[in-house]
Amino acid sequence: MNVKARISKEWRRRMLFMYIMIAGIASWFLSDGYYFWPEEDKRYQSYSKILDELVESGRAQDADSAPVQIAWQRYAREAGYTSKVPKERSHESIYEQIKIGTVMMIGSLIFLLWIAWNHRRSVWVEGDTVIGASGERVELDSIIATDRKKWKKKGIAYAIYQENGKTKRLCLDDHKFAGCEAIVLEAESRIKAREGA
């Protein structure tokens, strides 16, 4: 028997979607930390100055007062800012955004390398020997049972075999490595043939 189960398109799609999601969130944090939040803090400093001047002069009581709103709208229009009242963004909160974004971006790159590394792996059969994704070698005739508890939901089966008097399991993940089902079926047919003999 000669079978080579390689990375499936479905697994590749899922992993790339997860990578894009993590990298996207990281980019969002980094863009906030390096650009959007510092820019908003600049606007807030201008807004805060207007508010303090109007409250100190007695022309306004607080940030909700009409004179503050009018003065900010006029200033924002002249400065080319959005009219929305900016939030205060402290140096600590800006640094936190950069820190989270950096960690997530590094994590996403490590994840991408892991995906690429997995593309070099496969499960295959040479003659009567199954070679697992981690390089383990199992004789088809040493497989005494299969465990399909996770097969319907996850496409995972385990080939249970004996080696040096110990019972071990070989993972045959058809969701990740398309073609593993042929190996499972071959192992099961050999088990039935031995039981019927």
Cα radius of gyration rounded to whole Å, the chain: 31
Please compute, for residue 55, the number of CA atoms within 13 A of its CA located in the half-sphere on the CB side: 12
What percent of the chain has a predicted confidence (pLDDT) above 90? 90
What percent of the chain has a predicted confidence (pLDDT) above 70? 99
Summarised one tens digit per residue, pLDDT across range 52-81 is 999 999 998 898 899 999 999 999 999 999
For position 158, what pLDDT does the model report?
97
Query: What mean pLDDT comes out for the span 165-179?
Result: 95
For position 164, what pLDDT does the model report?
86
Alpha-carbon distances, residue 144 vs 127, 132, 136, 166, 192 (angstroms): 18, 17, 17, 12, 10
pTM > 0.75: yes
Alpha-carbon distances, residue 171 vs 51, 130, 179 (angstroms): 66, 11, 13
For position 196, what pLDDT does the model report?
74
C-alpha span between 151 and 181 (Å, rounded): 10
C-alpha span between 43 and 143 (Å, rounded): 70
pLDDT tops 80 at residue 197: no
**What is the residue-averaged pLDDT of the chain?**
94
C-alpha span between 69 and 83 (Å, rounded): 9
Summarised one tens digit per residue, pLDDT across range 40-49 is 999 999 999 9
